[in-house]
A and B are shown apart, each in its own frame.
Chain A
Amino acid sequence: MVFCLIAILFPFISAIAILEGVKVQSRVSVNEGADIYVTMDMYGRNGVIPLEMAEGIKKIDGVIKAVPRVISRIYIGSRLAVLLGIPIDEPPSSLSFIKGSIPQRGEIVIGKRMAEDLNMDIGNNLSIGVRVIAIIDHRPYIIKKLYRISGIFDSESSIWTSGLVMMNIDDAISTFEMDGFVTDIAVYVRPGYEVSVSENLQKMNSFFRIQTKDLVKTYVERGFNTKGGIFVALYTVAFALAIPAILVSSGFGLSDRRKEIGILKATGWQTHEVLEMVFFESIILALISAPAAFILSFVWIKLFNGLFIAQIFIAEIGSMPPFPVPSRFMPLPFILSFFFALILTMVGSIYSTWRAAIIPPAEAMR
């Protein structure tokens, strides 16, 4: 019974912890990013923006700097990573170089963890694959290029140190055959100028898509909340499905339980006394299994790095996450899981107990 409960609660606690952890890490990323991101509208979606627009944006009052960026997905071996192409003089502030130098042409900088995982160091060459859609038959294929590792960075975000590759923006543009275009321009503004800069940007070009930090923040949060929401919904369904299973396996087999209740009643227990006992048993079961599930998922995530579980919540990682899975254990899921356990055991045992307790003991003992 306890194992049954732990098995049900464990994924719930783990999932919430991982979701929360990822949320915190991305919040860090967002906060450290630029104030405004500008790109161009392309049939209602984010398109690309001409590189030279950066110069015009720099001239807007309140703008500190405008950094063109190329962001794309790349493959390292069969593993997906994120490529960030930036001007060599503008490394992101949230990254700290621990070794080497900013990438020149033909060079890349990778995260500490990725370097460890791939067993690579400065001076090694790394093959990077880019997914390209063929113009003729529209079938995607991957082209590969070799880059020299010029530096290694570290960051608070484990997702970054294991999945982010930085490259000189000119390299990125040519790799993706973007010819004078970048994916967006990150605009840093003086405090208080966010609104006026946004307005001026929109005036400058009506096709600009402008995303402020707050907007990004909301998107990220909303993304996580829907992810979390979907998960909780799925979990609730699974939970509802688990109730009959618990009903069947509740306690030590229904017929044994029935018999035991018959025995108790035959020796003078009253129905309500039997129910009270089962009620307290349920509370104790919940008290045991909720912390046990909590500890198990803590150990699972910290020691086994969320093996098999993290992949459900973090896109495109295998069963063995290549970086320490971010996690945050919060009191609310813990309390919730206690109540889940309680409801499960209650539904499982109170009903069957009641059924067995209202019939004559001779019948229950058969």
Chain B
Amino acid sequence: MIDTEHRTQNTELRSQDNELIRCDGIWKIYNEAKPHEVRALVDVSFVVEKGSFTIFNGPSGSGKTTLISIIGAIDRPSRGRAYLDGKDITDFSDVTLSLLRRKRIGFVFQNFNLVPRLSAWENVSAPLIPQGIREKDRKYRAMQLLDKIGLSDRVHHAPEELSGGEQQRVAIARALVNNPDIIILDEPTSNIDVEAASLLIDILKGLKAEGKTILISSHDEGLFVNADIIFEIRHGHLAGSWVPLVHR
């Protein structure tokens, strides 16, 4: 345990002025009513503030990925409600959720999920294709982002020709391509080396400085010091939250 941290129990929902995301009694049950039913999330409620750096901590299998997938609007809860800017998005249609993801959310998957047959810049610009943006402009935007995260010399590489850290940065560039205000990263330090991790932290700090809200699932304590708040997830339950001492 790092001694700059101070833990407080904080399970009750506080109403906040700068509330961005609110989850209210979220359940996620896989294979419901079947013998192999899994209660991945059980009655989880919390609020994420605008512009904050939030970490969901918990051991593997505790439900972190499931939770951030619901927040990122790429999965639906089995029960409970999720709000964005006070709007209930739980029952949004497929189309509305797609548009929400496009405009508001950048998701960086644990295994990055780059399209293997596309080059780095094509992966970055893929989210722009359905918006009718010309290839020239798409490429320009992708190059800008790849340059920003220090990958301008890897633009034409295929994902398999990139290291884990480089793949992750391509995935981050892709998450940023629509200029969303919410960036979600699933276990961002699990598939990269130490150097790439420190580079990642710099990138995340930069994004936070730009005013973006950052949500991370991770059990990497090295990241905690950067967080504004850490939610503890255990066996699908929200076991509490705490604020690292540096922020108090």
Contacts and interface: CB of A to CB of B under 8 A. Distances in A.
Interface in A264-293: 264-271, 273, 276-277
Chain B binding surface SS class: helix
B74 A360 contact: yes
B113 A362 contact: no
Nearest to B65: A362
Contacts of A259: 113
B76 interface: yes
B126 A264 contact: yes
A365 B186 CA distance: 14
A270 B130 contact: yes
Nearest to A272: B95
Contacts of B72: 266
Contacts of B95: 270-271
Nearest to B106: A267
A360 B130 CA distance: 18
A38 to B, nearest CB: 70
B94 interface: yes
Nearest to B95: A270
A43 interface: no
Given A267-B107, A365-B113, A360 B101 contact: no
B102 interface: yes
A358 B126 CA distance: 19
B101 A268 contact: yes
A361 interface: yes
Interface in B82-131: 94-95, 98-99, 101-103, 107, 109, 113, 115-117, 126-127, 129-130
A362 B127 contact: no
A267 B123 CA distance: 10
B159 to A, nearest CB: 11
Given A271-B95, A361-B74, A266 B107 contact: yes
Nearest to A265: B98
Interface in B188-238: none
A252 B130 contact: no
Contacts of B45: none
B144 interface: no
A271 B94 contact: yes
A268 B75 contact: no
A263 B98 contact: no
A316 interface: no
A179 interface: no
Interface in B165-207: 174-175, 178
Contact of A271 (B98, B117, B127): B98
Interface residues of B, number: 25
A363 B75 contact: yes
B69 interface: yes
A358 B107 CA distance: 19
B179 to A, nearest CB: 11
A78 B174 CA distance: 69
Nearest to B103: A268
Nearest to A360: B75
Contacts of B102: 267-269
Contacts of A361: 74-75, 101
Nearest to B115: A260
Nearest to A264: B126
A217 to B, nearest CB: 55
Contact of B115 (A263, A276, A358): A263
A148 to B, nearest CB: 68
B101 A267 contact: yes
Contacts of B117: 252
Contacts of A265: 74, 98, 101
Interface in A232-275: 252, 256, 259-260, 262-271, 273
A363 B69 CA distance: 10
B40 to A, nearest CB: 11
Contact of A268 (B94, B109, B127): B127
B107 A270 contact: no
A273 B178 CA distance: 16
Contacts of A269: 98, 102, 127, 129-130
Nearest to A252: B117
Contacts of B74: 265-266, 360-362, 365
A50 B237 CA distance: 104
Contacts of A252: 117
Contacts of A260: 115
A277 to B, nearest CB: 7
Given A267-B127, A361-B74, 19 more contacts: A265-B101, A266-B74, A266-B109, A267-B102, A267-B107, A267-B174, A268-B102, A268-B127, A269-B127, A270-B94, A270-B98, A271-B98, A273-B129, A277-B129, A360-B74, A360-B76, A362-B74, A362-B75, A365-B74
Interface of B: 69, 72, 74-76, 94-95, 98-99, 101-103, 107, 109, 113, 115-117, 126-127, 129-130, 174-175, 178
The 5 closest A-B pairs by CB, nearest first: A268-B102, A362-B75, A273-B130, A267-B127, A361-B74
